[in-house]
Structure 1
Amino acid sequence: MNIPSTMRAVVLTGHGGLDKLSYREDWPTPTPQAGEALIKVAACGLNNTDINTRTAWYSKAVNSGTTNDGIKTESADTAEQDASWGGNAITFPRIQGADPVGTVVALGNGAPKSLLGQRVMIETWLCSDNAGTSSIGYFGSECDGGYADYTVAPVRNIHPIDCPLSDAELATFATSYVTAENMLTRAGVKTGDAVLITGASGGVGSALIQLTARRGAIPVGMATENKHAALAPLGCPLLPREPENLKVALQQAIGRADVDVIADVVGGDSWRQWINVLHRSGRYVVSGAIAGPMVELDLRTLYLQDLIFYGATVAPPLIFSNLVNYITRGEIKPLLAKTFPLRELTQAQEMFVAKKHIGNIVVTMA
């Protein structure tokens, strides 16, 4: 196909507010290098990493507030030094967007010709070896991502997919569902486990509900009550975001006052209440803190209850290929909240940070 020399892209020019996102129609189209492919992007999903990176929220200089608050003026210089998920500086300008779906239109040297013309998803974690342990980066963070007409990716990260879902529906999966599946894998969730899921209405939370049920475990979601009706089709017991008595609420919902696992993406002030409902030897796994990163822990709760805590960030390579299989077999369903055209990415992010939606928001290139 005829590939233009320039393309549309939304470019992040530095840390800060939405004014740091610049919509361009003259950005150079990337060229695939050896072992890479060029993908014409059709849709790209939003996720918390976009916001956290833009606002420098990952920096240790940020020690209060929610994920949307990010850096304060007095800490900006310090924050910029470790403002990525991996604790390093981000190189600007950067095209974000970890969750593109599109069609392979050109190949670098050594890329298999069988990829040409295929609809693909991109594995979000970038690793230079098959074990997934070397030179780790994140698509749209350590390299340019999918908020553009075209993007390049290493062949090892490209996964062809054949299914009836739309491009926008497919773009809801990558980051949210890989994060959720990695959390459940790290915590060893198995058949019969009761799993309390905070932030159940978001992308990761709604993914956790589906993937927990897929394992034969019992998901229990927490969300503001005005979102319960929209979440009802997922078939999960639902609790208020801040129940008056969590143990009583659990007893009424699932017939027991404790859970085996807490899968948390929220953190913040309610954290202590959640930890207190873990069964002895229960597991707590965290992969986000949208309500605030700093929590207070009574160490007696941890050691007297023999609790086990897990952090979950870097996903093993099999997680993504398994996810593609779940999608093609129809074992998980997309939860598409709304689509926006690329030029309206800032409006999409405004809706995203307001947290009034259910599921995932996607930008499209049409």
Structure 2
Amino acid sequence: MGSDQFMTAAVLRRHGGPDVLELRDDWPVPRVGPGQVLVRVSAAALNNTDIWTREGAYGLPGRPEAKAGWRGPVDFPRVQGGDIAGTVQEAAADVPGTWVGRRVLVDPAFYADDREDAVPIGLLGSEADGGFATYVAVDAARVHDMSASPLSDEELASLPVAYGTAMGMLERARITSGETVLVTGASGGVGFALVQLAAARGTRVVALTSGSKAEALSEAGAAETVSRDADPAELRRRLDAAAPGGLDAVADVAGGPWLERLLPALRDGARWVIAGAVAGPVVTFDLRRLYLHNVSLIGSSMHTRSHFADLVELARTGAVRPRIAARYHLSDVHAAQDEFRRGAHIGKIVITP
């Protein structure tokens, strides 16, 4: 595909409000480099990281209010979008030509080294151009063949960031069959993924959410739902009933006051894994409740190659099927982000170019 051709892309010019994300119809189609393929995007999905990257809401060490991407400065201009499903249109000379024409899911993570358990150090749509565009050029090593998957392209595109993050949380916290785990923010993208993936591995899920979304979470596999608006005494009573011996784990995407409120509900030796801070990034809690009860507090950012490979296998068999909350054309990316920010949806908001 010639470099003189152009495409539509949602391009971030700087940190700021919705106006800094420009919809361009004259953006150059990316040139395929060594080891890369060109993917024609069939679907992309929204995540918190898209909003936070635009706003520069990640802060810097010692400067929590500083404008920055999740790994620090962002190299503008940047095409956003970490969730990508599509079809390979072109392959570099050093990539097998058999990839051309294949339906694929793209792993959005950059890793620290070549190990299967290497930690992620970057993300498409943040450290490199992503999928809010007609085409994206990516390393062939990050595309996975989805020819046999029963999932639609929109469902596939809902998986990488949210379900990859959820898979990483469950694995890093060693959450297993027969345990009881509390999921905060359970109706959001990562929260809903946690409910589905944890239930699929035989874990008993207690979902913390607003009352209006309880039914959808029960259908997704939650054994019990608890309203986040319940008063502290009622919340503790419900959790004691759900896990009489204490919770085995908490999978938290909210942060904020929940750490202080819910730590007493954990059993000795429990794990608290956190991958988000939408309810507040700076928290206060009693450290004695942590060390006196041998509770592990685990930070989890996205997934490893191994975690993503496990997710790919679930996608190929259709063992987990994401819920699509809304669909938007790329030209309506601002409206899509606006609906995402309102948070009234359950599941994933998908964009098609």
Name the TM-score, length of structure 2 as normaliser: 0.94
Secondary structure of residue in 1 paired with 2:257: helix
Secondary structure of residue in 2 paired with 1:32: coil
**Unpaired segments ≥5 residues, structure 2:** none
Deviation per CA, 1:227-278, whole angstroms, max 9, x where unpaired? 11232311311110132232211244x3526201000000112331111211
Match of 2:106 among 93, 111, 122: 122
Instruction: Please say if 1:340 is aligned against 2:328.
Output: yes
Shift of 1:134: 8.2
**Unpaired segments ≥5 residues, structure 1:** 64-74
Instruction: Provide the rounded CA distance (Å) in 1 between the counterparts of 2:56 and 2:185.
Output: 22
**AA in 1 matched with 2:171:** T
Match of 1:85 among 58, 63, 70: 70
Contact 1:33 1:109 in 2 (8 A): no
Identity of aligned residues (%): 39
Matches within 5 A, 1:225-244: 225-236=211-222, 237-244=224-231
Contact 2:3 2:28 in 1 (8 A): no
**AA in 2 matched with 1:242:** D
Instruction: Please say if 1:354 is aligned against 2:342.
Output: yes
Match of 2:270 among 269, 275, 282: 282
CA RMSD of aligned residues (A): 1.8
Secondary structure of residue in 1 paired with 2:15: coil
Shift of 1:178: 0.5
Give the corresponding residue for 1:57.
57
Give the corresponding residue for 1:71.
none
Contact 2:207 2:217 in 1 (8 A): no
Match of 1:178 among 161, 164, 171: 164
Give the corresponding residue for 1:311.
299
**AA in 1 matched with 2:192:** S
Give the corresponding residue for 2:193.
207
Matches within 5 A, 1:1-366: 5-60=5-60, 63=64, 79-80=66-67, 83-86=68-71, 88-127=72-111, 129-131=113-115, 133=118, 136-161=121-146, 162-236=148-222, 237-244=224-231, 245-252=234-241, 254=242, 256=244, 258-365=246-353
Secondary structure of residue in 1 paired with 2:251: strand
Instruction: Provide the rounded CA distance (Å) in 1 between the counterparts of 2:278 and 2:119.
Output: 28
Secondary structure of residue in 1 paired with 2:320: coil
Secondary structure of residue in 2 paired with 1:239: strand
Contact 1:246 1:277 in 2 (8 A): no
Instruction: Provide the rounded CA distance (Å) in 2 between the counterparts of 1:111 and 1:44.
Output: 24
Contact 1:9 1:24 in 2 (8 A): yes
Instruction: Provide the rounded CA distance (Å) in 2 between the counterparts of 1:289 and 1:135.
Output: 18
Secondary structure of residue in 1 paired with 2:212: helix
Instruction: Provide the rounded CA distance (Å) in 1 between the counterparts of 2:4 and 2:211.
Output: 48
Secondary structure of residue in 2 paired with 1:268: coil
Instruction: Provide the rounded CA distance (Å) in 2 between the counterparts of 1:128 and 1:292.
Output: 28
**AA in 1 matched with 2:309:** S
Shift of 1:4: 7.1
Instruction: Provide the rounded CA distance (Å) in 1 between the counterparts of 2:92 and 2:279.
Output: 43
Shift of 1:166: 1.8
Contact 1:284 1:310 in 2 (8 A): yes
Contact 1:243 1:249 in 2 (8 A): no
Shift of 1:2: 8.7
Instruction: Provide the rounded CA distance (Å) in 1 between the counterparts of 2:325 and 2:226.
Output: 21
Instruction: Provide the rounded CA distance (Å) in 1 between the counterparts of 2:177 and 2:119.
Output: 33
Shift of 1:213: 1.3
Moved more, 280-289 or 315-324: 315-324
Shift of 1:59: 0.9
Deviation per CA, 1:53-92, whole angstroms, max 9, x where unpaired? 11111113764xxxxxxxxxxx6xxx24xx1222x21011
**AA in 1 matched with 2:125:** G
Shift of 1:3: 8.9
Shift of 1:11: 0.4
Name the TM-score, length of structure 1 as normaliser: 0.90
Shift of 1:31: 1.0
Contact 2:119 2:304 in 1 (8 A): no
Instruction: Provide the rounded CA distance (Å) in 1 between the counterparts of 2:203 and 2:73.
Output: 39
**AA in 2 matched with 1:99:** D
Shift of 1:189: 0.7
Aligned residues: 347
